[in-house]
Structure 1
Amino acid sequence: MLIDSHCHLDRLKAAPDQASLQHIIAQAKARGVEYFLCVNVRQQGFTQMQAKMADFEQIFLSAGVHPLDVKEGLDTAQLYEYIKDPKVVAIGETGLDYFYADDTKALQLSCFEQQIALAVEVDKPLIVHTRDAREDTIALLKAGHADKVGGVLHCFTENWEMAKAAIDLGFYISVSGIVTFKNAGDLRTVIRKVPKDRLLVETDAPYLAPVPHRGQENQPAYVRDVAEFVAELRGESFEALADYTTTNFFNLFKDAAKLAKRE
């Protein structure tokens, strides 16, 4: 069994309605993908995402504000209301992105701090986006005592030093289809080093489709391609990697484990 630990099902052009989303889920299931974490990026889009995913027991949710969406605002009181939904198993996608939005650095830092504090208060793990912000990301996680709840650095593209610092804080490293790209040699070196008990796989669908699907809209079924590539990269069997990444997912997202009755 596989889990797509990070996807944006509400943003799939191939799934504009419930029927088409059901088809996408069926395609993924046919490739061994049983559960999905649909990740919120815009607080203003949460209720629409929530409604679209409500009929699918195998889809878990998160609630938060992405660093590239901080200009639209963060309302922690509203997030409190969102996380009352038992399907919300994490806070995020939050974090820092100085590559695309260095001009909003101060606002990103403030929103990230607030979401770390919220995660610690409500005892839910963090889903962290980080790009070109290694020192600040780790510093804020430490200062906010994020080690109390843990989390994941999703779609990881940074160096081993950052991965190790996050792992030391109790965080997981999630690898996407980027690892299959021709120019991802440095990332492959990092992913080989990640301990088995700290690795997750994801699609980040509809973005970043892995080889051999590059140029297409990404979808959860393609997490199988990511997992097969990573297993070969690490010299492991696909079955072993699928098993331990599934275990890791439920160890991190304990509320998801309760919903799936995998405690």
Structure 2
Amino acid sequence: MNDYVGDLDAVIERARQKKVEQIITIGIDLESSKKAVSLAGKYPGVRASVGIHPHDLPSSAESTYAAIVRLVEENREHIAGYGEIGLDYAKMYCPMELQQHHFRIQLELAKTLNLPVIIHDRDAHEDVLRILEQCGPFPAGGVMHCFSGDYTMACRTIDLGFFLSVPGIVTFKNANNLREVARKVPLTSLLLETDGPFLAPQPWRGKRNEPAYILATAACIADLRNISLEHLARTTTANATALFQPGLH
């Protein structure tokens, strides 16, 4: 994204210094998916996802998916997952029915490509879960990105075979639902993320987020669970590897 144009090399180097050795950069439309793949080809340890975010559907014709398939087929070694895709009823840049239609198309496409799905869910919990239940199972697995539901929804998501990904919001003292989820769900179902450039954890709240800050998110969750940071880091890294690089697990 444009937020990193001026200092991307430095951002990645700071991540390396904090022992963040693997990064997934996310596609939200065809153009950004191509850019993500390009970054993955340039930087060791960086891999890409591809897909069409619900905000970007009005400008995306069905033919876009053929281009996504070609992108995957030509760059398979650089691509870790399909997404982020899903539903967003908060901004509603696209009608519900159209969002749901394209969500189903992309879930099936991800299965055809044998890629794990990265799910965007904002104010659409029930519809997201219903469609995932109807379109499943997903042999390559998936993750509920930036999880924003309560513990009950977390359990339903895990029952689908999905991981939950927790962003820096968990460090906010008023994030009661997310903090409960991070404390109570099985550690084997948990992933960490930045959602950069958004959702920076404390003490960088409101500023540009970057991968090096994932350490603050990890430390908070380790504290909530009363376990060591090292144990949390090892387990969530193993979880991410199992989902996005299963051949290396």
- Please report the TM-score for the alignment, with normalisation by the length of structure 1: 0.88
8 Å CA contact retained: 2:15, 2:211: yes
Question: Is structure 2 residue 139 aligned with structure 1 residue 152?
Answer: no
Aligned counterparts of 2:19 and 2:169: Cα–Cα separation in 1: 21
Aligned counterparts of 1:146 and 1:205: Cα–Cα separation in 2: 29
Tell me what 2:69 maps to: 80
Question: Is structure 2 residue 192 aligned with structure 1 residue 205?
Answer: no
Alignment of 1:66-77 (within 5 A): 66-74=53-61, 75-77=64-66
Q: Pick from 171, 177, 201 the counterpart of residue 180 of structure 1.
A: 171
Q: Pick from 130, 133, 136 the counterpart of residue 121 of structure 2.
A: 130
Q: Pick from 24, 27, 34 the counterpart of residue 40 of structure 1.
A: 27
Tell me what 1:234 maps to: 225
Secondary structure of the 2:49 match is strand
Deviation of 1:149 (Å): 2.5
Deviation of 1:52 (Å): 3.5
Deviation of 1:44 (Å): 2.8
Letter of the structure 1 residue corresponding to residue 71 of structure 2: Y
8 Å CA contact retained: 2:54, 2:94: no
Structure 1 residues 102, 193: CA separation in 2 closer, same or farther (over 3 Å shift)? farther
Secondary structure of the 2:138 match is helix
Structure 1 residues 12, 248: CA separation in 2 closer, same or farther (over 3 Å shift)? farther
Which range is displaced more, 142-151 or 214-223?
A: 142-151
Which range is displaced more, 217-226 or 36-45?
A: 36-45
Secondary structure of the 2:86 match is strand
8 Å CA contact retained: 2:170, 2:178: yes
Q: Pick from 11, 34, 38 the counterpart of residue 24 of structure 1.
A: 11
Tell me what 1:49 maps to: 36
Spell out, residue by residue over 1:232-260, the C-alpha distance to the aligned partner (whole angstroms, 9 max, x if none).
Answer: 01111000000000000011113xx54xx
8 Å CA contact retained: 1:32, 1:224: no
Structure 1 residues 22, 146: CA separation in 2 closer, same or farther (over 3 Å shift)? farther
Aligned counterparts of 1:147 and 1:90: Cα–Cα separation in 2: 12
8 Å CA contact retained: 1:64, 1:94: yes
Question: Is structure 2 residue 176 aligned with structure 1 residue 189?
Answer: no
Secondary structure of the 1:93 match is strand
Secondary structure of the 2:194 match is coil
Task: Report the aligned-residue RMSD.
Answer: 1.5
Letter of the structure 1 residue corresponding to residue 31 of structure 2: Q
8 Å CA contact retained: 1:37, 1:61: yes
Tell me what 1:224 maps to: 215
Deviation of 1:142 (Å): 1.4
Stretches of structure 2 that go unaligned for 5 or more consecutive residues are: none
Aligned counterparts of 2:219 and 2:68: Cα–Cα separation in 1: 36
Deviation of 1:51 (Å): 2.4
8 Å CA contact retained: 1:12, 1:205: no
Deviation of 1:163 (Å): 1.2
Which range is displaced more, 35-44 or 101-110?
A: 101-110
Deviation of 1:102 (Å): 7.1
- Considering Cα pairs closer than 8 Å and 6+ residues apart, tell me whether 1 or 2 has the greater RCO: 1
Aligned counterparts of 1:164 and 1:59: Cα–Cα separation in 2: 30
- Please report the TM-score for the alignment, with normalisation by the length of structure 2: 0.93
Secondary structure of the 2:147 match is coil
What percent identity do the matched residue pairs reach? 37
Structure 1 residues 67, 103: CA separation in 2 closer, same or farther (over 3 Å shift)? closer
